[in-house]
């Protein structure tokens, strides 16, 4: 039998209540050598619910296994919700120099994505929302102008300061990109992949238009030269 049993048929009265008035005391403590320290179960509501006005609603610690583990047979294993306007619903923090922040796995594919502690994300693919029904305020762009602007941006080889000098990348800086195209509002520290791809596609169209115009002019000049040559040959 359990050492402690609580029973209540009043929805406003807890079956078990623990209170500690010291500044850092524990209201209810559950400890186990091999099983659950605290187990809560409900057929219609929360199995365990914790609230706090100043500290963490739930704080969990493990020496050798998961700090928090969530399992659901028919719904979400772990759900995070925030009502703070400027706070994330979920935050992950790695207090090591080598451990990754998030690893996602599936039963069929194994590891499907990984967030490294340097900010890199390893993932099979990213599908960006581009549905016309989610966009507004469309306007045409001058592809030749975009081509000229893109040609003016320095494209360099570099490495991130947190990486070794051998881990090289190629591309523009966000400051140079923003100064020329003025996209993504006032953010001059990031380059949106939507903008980068859009600029590249527009520049390709501009280059095609430029080459087509030059080719048309060359064909006209060639036809004119052939006509003049034909006249000279007929006279001779």
The answer on 151 and 224 residing in a single domain is yes
Q: Please check whether residue 125 lies inside any domain of the structure.
A: no
The answer on 158 and 80 residing in a single domain is no
Q: How far apart are CA 85 and CA 34, in angstroms?
A: 41
Q: How far apart are CA 224 and CA 236, in angstroms?
A: 19
Distances (CA, A) of 56 to 35, 50, 60, 102: 24, 9, 10, 21
Q: Please check whether residue 109 lies inside any domain of the structure.
A: no
Question: For a pLDDT cut of 70, what percent of the chain falls above it?
Answer: 97
Relative to beta strand 121-123, strand 156-158 is: unpaired
Q: What is the pLDDT of residue 2?
A: 63
Q: How far apart are CA 17 and CA 46, in angstroms?
A: 16
Q: What is the pLDDT of residue 108?
A: 86
Q: What is the pLDDT of residue 217?
A: 96
Domain stops at, among 32, 54, 89: 89
Confidence (pTM)? 0.70
Question: For a pLDDT cut of 90, what percent of the chain falls above it?
Answer: 44
The answer on 148 and 227 residing in a single domain is yes
Q: How far apart are CA 188 and CA 61, in angstroms?
A: 40
Q: pLDDT digits over 100-152, tens only?
A: 888 898 888 888 899 988 888 999 889 999 999 999 999 999 999 999 999 99
Residue 150: how many other CB atoms lie within 10 Å: 20
Q: Please check whether residue 8 lies inside any domain of the structure.
A: yes
Q: Please check whether residue 77 lies inside any domain of the structure.
A: yes
The answer on 228 and 150 residing in a single domain is yes
Residue 16 confidence (pLDDT) above 60: yes
Domain stops at, among 89, 123, 149: 89
Domain stops at, among 34, 66, 89: 89
Identify the domain containing residue 35 by its residue range: 1-89
Q: Please check whether residue 129 lies inside any domain of the structure.
A: no
Q: What is the pLDDT of residue 202?
A: 98
Q: Is 58 or 230 the better-scoring residue by pLDDT?
A: 230
Grade residue 69 by pLDDT with cuts at 50, 70 and 90.
Answer: confident
Q: pLDDT digits over 158-216, tens only?
A: 999 988 999 999 999 999 999 999 999 999 999 999 999 999 999 999 999 999 999 99
Q: Please check whether residue 85 lies inside any domain of the structure.
A: yes
DSSP assignment of 180-233: HH--STT--S---HHHHHHHHHHHHHHHHHHHHHHHHHHHHHHHHHHHHHHHHH
Q: What average pLDDT does the structure give for the chain? A: 87
Q: Please check whether residue 120 lies inside any domain of the structure.
A: no
Q: Please check whether residue 27 lies inside any domain of the structure.
A: yes
Residue 1 confidence (pLDDT) above 70: no
Relative to beta strand 121-123, strand 110-115 is: antiparallel
Q: What is the pLDDT of residue 176?
A: 98
Here the CATH number for the domain that contains residue 143 is 1.10.10
What domain count does the chain have?
2
């Amino acid at each position: 039998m359990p050492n402690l049993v609580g029973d209540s048929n009043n929805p406003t009265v807890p079956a078990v209540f623990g209170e500690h008035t010291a500044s850092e005391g524990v209201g209810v403590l559950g400890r186990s050598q091999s099983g659950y320290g605290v187990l809560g179960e409900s057929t219609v509501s929360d199995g365990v619910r914790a609230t706090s006005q100043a500290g963490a609603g739930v704080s969990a610690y493990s020496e050798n296994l998961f700090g928090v583990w969530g399992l659901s047979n028919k719904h979400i294993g772990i759900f995070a919700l925030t009502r703070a306007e400027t706070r994330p619903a979920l935050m992950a923090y790695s207090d090591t120099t080598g451990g990754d922040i998030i690893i996602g796995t599936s039963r069929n594919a194994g590891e499907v994505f990984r967030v490294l502690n340097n900010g890199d994300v390893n993932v099979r693919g990213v599908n960006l929302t581009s549905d016309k029904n989610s966009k507004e305020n469309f306007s045409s762009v001058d592809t030749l102008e975009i081509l000229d602007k893109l040609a003016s941006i320095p494209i360099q080889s570099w490495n991130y300061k947190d990486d070794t000098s051998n881990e090289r990348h190629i591309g523009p800086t966000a400051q140079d990109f923003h100064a020329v195209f003025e996209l993504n509002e006032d953010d001059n520290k990031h380059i949106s992949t939507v903008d980068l791809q859009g600029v590249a596609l527009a520049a390709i169209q501009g280059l095609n238009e430029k080459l087509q115009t030059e080719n048309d002019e060359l064909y006209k000049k060639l036809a004119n030269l052939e006509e003049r040559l034909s006249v000279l040959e007929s006279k001779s």
